[in-house]
Amino acid sequence: MAQITLDIFRFDEATDTVPHRDKVAVNVPPTTTVLDALEAAKAEVDGSISFRRSCRSAICGSCSMNINGVTGLACKTPCNTVMDENGVVSVDPMPNFQPMKDLVVHMDPFWDKYTRLKPYLQPKDKDSDHERERRVDPEDMKKLVQVANCVMCATCYALCPVVSVDPSFAGPAAIAYAYRFIEDVRDDQRGERIAQISDDYLWLCAHCYACSYCPKHVDPHDRIVDVKRAAIKDRVMMNERGPRHALVVNKTIRQTGMLQETEVIQGTVGRFNITGLIKVAPLGLRLASRGKLPPIFMKPIPKVDEIGIIFDALEVPVS
């Protein structure tokens, strides 16, 4: 047995205006999970400590919290992997959520974005048209298995820096789950789903990879790339800045081997969007006054054809 001290964020929105912290010591085996250490603290020391949990097996997705500043599932995190040399483990509510009580947060924004997806199959035909269940070719199903493992724990959402600056962004889990239906051969709402998720600021994703840390290995970042590719392939909302920006970046790198920033700005804003171009003009003038205006024409790097071979191999869309 080892003595583990939990340094717990305490706050009750019903009675408190500011949070405080409590240190609670428990005797548990060092390999016990952070969740079981919290259960021991609640059972033996302070019954008012609040946190969500259900399965204790990384299945229900309830126990996501910040553990020593890193978001993850408490039931999947052994204390001896996170405690400091004094046996202390800090636990806090997930960031990007409003605390409700101690480690419990208001999940409504996360669920609202998920619900907007209509996260259920919408096939063209009726169940009654089939004598048995709709069968899917194993090859078609392979694409969906990984993302179907999502347990809606919101760890990725808590880790996303874009959610923290723009709460209207759908967030990684919702986009990954949109992919799950966009690529389902039984579903009949592919176009509507891509349009809806594009409308929920799909293109705001900054590809920082923070959401690649997923306790169920869903890897929502790669699914976001897949949804963006699907949007371009199906030509959905192509007048938006997001897809225009992606395409012009790809185009200039393919043509010159470098990012041709002047071309990227024009292509993103829109070459004939006079109002938009006037808005970015002050930026151009500031850059010019500091001698940092990127060149208007760029000579392709030597062997630029090899860049094209890479683009072809990765099937990068360029128009």
**Cβ proximity of 114 and 177 under 8 Å:** yes
Q: Which of 173, 197, 232, 253 binds ligand SF4 (CB under 6 A)?
A: 173
Residues in CB range of 276: below 8 A, 6 or more apart: 269, 270
174 interacts with ligand SF4 by CB under 6 A:
no
- Give the CA-trace dihedral at 101, 104, 108, 113, to 10 degrees: 150
For residue 104, the cross-strand partners are 101
Span near ligand FES by CB under 6 A; candidates 16-24, 51-59, 127-135, 167-175 = 51-59
Going through 205-296 in order, the beta strands assigned E by DSSP cover none
Q: Which of 25, 55, 100, 210 binds ligand SF4 (CB under 6 A)?
A: 210
- Give the CA-trace dihedral at 308, 310, 315, 319, to 10 degrees: -30
Span near ligand FES by CB under 6 A; candidates 49-57, 95-103, 109-117, 307-315 = 49-57
162 interacts with ligand SF4 by CB under 6 A:
yes
113 interacts with ligand SF4 by CB under 6 A:
no
Report the residue number, 206 or 285, with the smaller CB distance to ligand SF4: 206
Q: Which of 2, 60, 225, 280 binds ligand FES (CB under 6 A)?
A: 60
- Number of Cα atoms under 13 Å in the Cβ half of residue 46: 15
Q: Which of 117, 205, 249, 269 binds ligand SF4 (CB under 6 A)?
A: 205
Pairing mode of beta strands 88-92, 64-67: antiparallel
Closest distance between ligand FES and the C-beta of residue 92, in Å?
16
Range 219-248, binding ligand SF4 (CB under 6 A): 220-221, 224
130 interacts with ligand SF4 by CB under 6 A:
no
Q: Which of 218, 230, 236, 247 binds ligand SF4 (CB under 6 A)?
A: 218
53 interacts with ligand FES by CB under 6 A:
yes
Distance, in Å, from the CA atom of 77 to the CA atom of 73, rounded to the nearest integer, reads: 6
Partner interacting with residue 176 (select from ligand SF4, ligand FES, none; CB below 5-8 Å by kind)? ligand SF4
**How many residues appear in the chain?**
319
Secondary element (H or E) of residue 88: strand 88-92
Secondary structure, 3-state, 28-51: ECCCCEHHHHHHHHHHHCCCCCCC
Closest distance between ligand SF4 and the C-beta of residue 10, in Å?
25
Binding mask 64-93 for ligand FES (x = CB under 6 A): ---------x-x------------------
Report the residue number, 155 or 268, with the smaller CB distance to ligand SF4: 155
Q: DSSP state, 93?
A: P
Distance, in Å, from the CA atom of 115 to the CA atom of 27, rounded to the nearest integer, reads: 42
Q: DSSP state, 212?
A: G
**Cβ proximity of 2 and 21 under 8 Å:** no
Distance, in Å, from the CA atom of 174 to the CA atom of 205, rounded to the nearest integer, reads: 12
Nearest 5°: the CA angle 55, 60, 66 is 95
Partner interacting with residue 225 (select from ligand SF4, ligand FES, none; CB below 5-8 Å by kind)? none
Report the residue number, 36 or 263, with the smaller CB distance to ligand FES: 36
Report the residue number, 52 or 116, with the smaller CB distance to ligand FES: 52
Q: Which two tokens stand for residue 177?
A: 């789950």
Binding positions for ligand FES, rule: CB under 6 A? 35, 53-56, 58-63, 73, 75
Binding positions for ligand SF4, rule: CB under 6 A? 150-156, 159-162, 172-173, 176, 205-211, 214, 216, 218, 220-221, 224
